[in-house]
Amino acid sequence: MERAELRGQAGQGTGRRRHRGHASQDPDIRLSKALSYILRHGAAELGLVIGKDGFLDVEEVLRCPQCRHYTEKDIQRVVETNNKQRFTLRRHPETGMLQIRANQGHSLQVEELELIPITEAAGNIPEQAVHGTYRRHWHSIKGEGLRCMSRRHIHLAPGLPGQGGVPSGIRSDCELAIFIELGKAIKDGIPFYFSTNRVILTPGNEDGVLPPKYFQRVLQLKPSRCVLPLD
């Protein structure tokens, strides 16, 4: 959704209704969406060379059509106030240039994200690992499992939206929560990681899938809470 919206913004003339919605949207939200698109998906399309660690000079970001009306201070504010902690800022160790990175969600090839392996030996397996989704997807997920799709990882959260310590990893409007048997999947050789902002990431098995056999339970969140059958 973010990619489609931002391609439309860059292309101009996308229709009166979309233009009105874009104009009335909070500037910081527009900037956050633009940063997500550029850093996760669109850098190559925009002619930007993103580092293996996912960092890009803020100066380069501000030259993009989506960000030309913003400043370095605007980016710093959005990063600092983002309640999902989607981004990281740093000064390049050699050039001193301010750089920004998306903490997860990439479709771009990023090889050196700061991911922390989740293992029994490390003793850092969380009590819960939850994937949020929508009712319309449940039939295919129940039969085929969770897939990376266009991203490099399947995203899980260490709890439900609104619970303490769950800033990101699951959207607040999700209708279903799929609880994963993390320990069982890890024993079977499926890797899991924590991102910088504590989102749980997995590439799935060799086919990029987290099979249904690792589904512990499925909780319907909306319109009312109830447990759904797994079979």
pTM over 0.75: no
From CA 222, how far away is CA 114, in angstroms rounded? Answer: 34
From CA 118, how far away is CA 63, in angstroms rounded? Answer: 38
pLDDT band for position 196 (50/70/90)? confident
Nearest to 101 by CA among 24, 22, 175, 197: 197
CATH code, 116-228: 3.20.170.30
Q: What is the pLDDT averaged over residues 103-117?
A: 70
Take residue 79 and report the two structure tokens written for it: 């990063």
pLDDT of 4-51, one tens digit each? 334 334 333 333 333 444 556 789 999 999 998 888 888 878 888 777
Cis peptide leading into residue 223 (ω within 30°) = yes
Q: What is the pLDDT averaged over residues 171-180?
A: 91
Q: Where are the domains of the chain?
A: 2-102, 116-228
- Out of 1.10.10.970, 3.40.1080.10, 3.90.1150.10, 1.10.8.60, select the CATH number for domain 2-102: 1.10.10.970
Question: Residue 31: its pLDDT value, please?
Answer: 94
Nearest to 5 by CA among 22, 20, 17, 25: 22
